[in-house]
A and B are shown apart, each in its own frame.
Chain A
């Protein structure tokens, strides 16, 4: 066995969440002699606004050895137990999509079949009453599970809301502490090797040339390397997800931060509210065919819960993904890899997935093609699965009160999504395929929340005597109510363990 030709230098193009998450993770896990350089320009704004996440970000932070309280304190962060969807199924309705499970399974059969059986027999309790996260969220409470599976808090699942630029700054401290060097500058040209077409170096405005063996493109929508130089190509998903603009605007907090994100459907899109400790992040995602930027901004301003803290930030995008996320010696991570609107807070998760797969398949200078193909296949599956889940929110709505919603009603879903819905809306079945992020409770929460869901329950649910089912479900609800009563309020918890440190901006960080 000859000594393989290892990668000894890596250049990350672009800071922001994607760039600094990548830098922090690579510097944590790669052999220490590998030189990692991140080039970013203060002149190029990052897209990062108030950012909401999903629970597995905790895995990423834990991998880096980051303490949760310290992290929340540094990023002005709050806890998140789910997302409240308003006006999605129908105008005037709302539901919570919580993290975690509903109830627990009985005799190997999924919980919801028993809940449906009870409903068929006239027992009124809502699905939400079996979610510890939902009950805690609506009571503005929070407590942390200590990992003991016997604890009443064991079913709690949480993620965070945080200030994305503060998170990038926080990770930058970690990465620089592990030897990542940061270069300020803007990439103006890319030099490729003649034969392989691999990226050889990037040229900065200053005239400085940065060479590397592996490049990670975290340059955002534009994809400076993966698209502008390597022409990977982009597959548009506009026919399913026509939203192409957003306007964001932070405002003052007028109430203690809620432990959940809010997504309020509009006439041609939806508005997010993300509570941080020191402010609320707001934004309006919309479809420019049905709404112009003035109308979008007006709707957002009207929905702001407090006084605006900055002017509007307008963004353009297109839903879709790169044909190849990894091409030659360049790997795209973050918005350069693809974009799916943040309706289910999946942006950071997709960054994390890209990083995890890159680490699992980390190349040598030979860039072994089967490893690269596997990376592209796995990322593709992750993207498409999330895409389907997002599309489902739009097509499983009964709204037809605007041209936009009428158009969404006529949207033909991807086949993978039709199959999934057919399975779930028949007998409440769900089969998880590989690498899928969202599982049965997620699909069920949204479908049911929007007034849809399984028509029948599994015949297996009839195998348990009625009295046992009734007692089991009564116990679950009582248990949840008791657990929520004992929890501190979200605000108290934050004050006590993770109070925001005095505001720091990215520029003052060492």
Chain B
């Protein structure tokens, strides 16, 4: 056996990040040889509100061997096919950023080039008609993709979940504890470091108990107890690009059937999320404190919430940005301790998940190879920066200038990579995904198109094809999608049949 093997892992903090890490590690490591301890305090609240996710979450559940119907029922979850953005490109406008792709390539070209060409010649069918997920979302339909026929349109359904983050943490906790993860209740009082290397050796709890570890995962939230409090790793502040710095969150009663998409409504100095769960609705308002007060923000949320408030509003403060090194010495930061980006594209849980995937690919032993750690940090920085650019796109590629906040957004200097992407799209409508980047070509396209950016042209290669013939082909594509959607069950009836949550059953909903 390897003498350098890590035998003691300590996870600091419960919540979504901590328990997701615990469940993942318990699944892949041999708990008989390696102890995994999670320290959390019931006295410290978690930030978790109604959470929306993106499709890679399905991989996590599959890896953990979790049954989807069980998971959805126990976390009060609903299905999600995309995000609707209201008032973003201009007041009164709406578009959907759907998961998955816009149908298929036609003659080796992405479909949207043919569509852009047709549009120049008077074609009026919107791009969203070519997305199965858009059509299904607005038709309030959902089903899991068919698996027995890969050629079926219904095999390409791409989706994620809306769920109750508190219930999800509990779900993963049960999973982790059943596989040998030990939970200790307590608050960290002191941290002991190796005098030579600066590695963390033990954390001392309020009770006096000392918890020793060889590798620490810091899931302590915004504060970053180990990564910042102890190791003083430093933080890159991104407010120059994304100025929102507060959110107010509040749950409300359910009104009408749960739709299979998140909604994001832009307001005068931020935006409001609406996340439908089976038994209630998660709401929140992300805003910029320079342009709107907490009270105003809370009342904007109250005025725009559809159901009755279920609790008092909670205000959260944050600084958008990223820990300079997510992995420093023997401490890895996951979750909010690694950085914060507003949940405009539902990426928070994905950052935890991709961090864990990278950790597994680069899992250390006691020698902590510096080249591995650098690689982890470089890839993390890349991933965060690309998502940041994607969010900046939403705020800066807009015609809104109706409030001081939106006027301010017009003056934001875009990061170079984003500027280049926009310039390329404005030419002949080209969109490329960089390797290792989270969001796909289709995601960039959906938002650039949805926010009203008009390319000057399209790929010249599309001119190879007869205009009328290609129009017929495009028509047959969206027609096929439309018919496929009609054959799908309603979102709520799918849930009722497969994965109804006990909360929703109690309500008789």
Contacts and interface: CB of A to CB of B under 8 A. Distances in A.
A107 B29 CA distance: 11
Contacts of B120: 1, 3
Given A423-B371, A427-B372, A463-B29, A435 B427 contact: no
Nearest to B108: A29
Contact of A432 (B119, B362, B435): B435
Nearest to B361: A429
Give the size category of A's interface with B: 35 or more
A445 to B, nearest CB: 20
A370 to B, nearest CB: 4
A1 B457 contact: yes
Given A427-B372, A462-B1, A371 B363 contact: no
Interface string B184-214: 0000000000000000000000000000000
Contact of B432 (A374, A423, A426): A374
Given A363-B460, A374-B432, A459-B6, A429 B362 contact: yes
Interface string B12-51: 0000000000000000111001000000000000000000
Interface string B415-458: 00000100110011010101110000000000000000010111
Interface in B216-265: none
Contacts of A32: 464
B460 A426 contact: no
Interface in B349-392: 360-365, 367, 369, 371-372, 374-375, 379
Contact of A423 (B5, B375, B424, B464): B375
B461 A362 contact: yes
Contact of A108 (B28, B374, B435, B458): B28
B2 A426 contact: no
A435 B435 contact: yes
Interface string B57-79: 00000010000000000000000
B219 to A, nearest CB: 21
A63 B120 CA distance: 29
B371 A426 contact: yes
Contact of B371 (A31, A361, A366, A419): A419
B338 to A, nearest CB: 19
A370 B423 contact: yes
A370 B459 contact: no
B483 to A, nearest CB: 31
Interface string B454-480: 101111110110000000000000000
A18 to B, nearest CB: 20
Given A29-B464, A370-B420, A374-B424, A107 B28 contact: yes
A410 interface: no
Contact of B363 (A360, A423, A435, A460): A460
Interface string A456-490: 10111011000000000000000000000000000
Nearest to A426: B369
Nearest to B433: A434
A309 to B, nearest CB: 41
Nearest to A63: B108
A47 to B, nearest CB: 30
Interface string A27-65: 001111000000000000000000000000000000100
Nearest to A455: B369
Nearest to A436: B435
A30 B2 CA distance: 59
A427 B428 CA distance: 44
A462 B30 contact: yes
Contacts of A363: 460
A426 B364 CA distance: 11
A181 B371 CA distance: 54
A429 B371 CA distance: 9
Nearest to A365: B460
A425 B391 CA distance: 38
Interface string A1-22: 1111011000000000000000
Interface in A221-280: none
Nearest to B437: A434
Given A427-B372, A429-B362, A364 B436 contact: no
Nearest to A110: B361
A373 interface: yes
A426 B461 contact: no
Contacts of A456: 4, 365, 367, 369
Contacts of A427: 362, 365, 369, 372
A456 B6 CA distance: 14
A463 B365 CA distance: 13
Nearest to B425: A370
B119 A1 contact: yes
A368 interface: yes
Contact of B460 (A2, A362, A431, A460): A362
Given A31-B464, A429-B375, A459 B364 contact: yes
Contacts of A429: 361-362, 371-372, 375
A433 B436 CA distance: 8
A422 interface: yes
Contacts of B364: 459
A228 B459 CA distance: 31
Given A29-B461, A362-B461, A456-B369, 12 more contacts: A369-B423, A371-B427, A374-B424, A419-B374, A423-B375, A426-B371, A429-B375, A434-B436, A460-B360, A462-B1, A462-B2, A462-B33
18 contacts: A1-B120, A6-B460, A31-B461, A31-B464, A63-B108, A360-B432, A419-B371, A419-B374, A423-B371, A427-B365, A427-B369, A429-B375, A434-B436, A458-B363, A459-B5, A462-B30, A462-B33, A463-B29
**Interface pairs A-B: 3 shortest CB-CB:** A434-B435, A368-B427, A4-B457
Interface of B: 1-2, 4-6, 28-30, 33, 63, 108, 119-120, 360-365, 367, 369, 371-372, 374-375, 379, 420, 423-424, 427-428, 430, 432, 434-436, 454, 456-461, 463-464
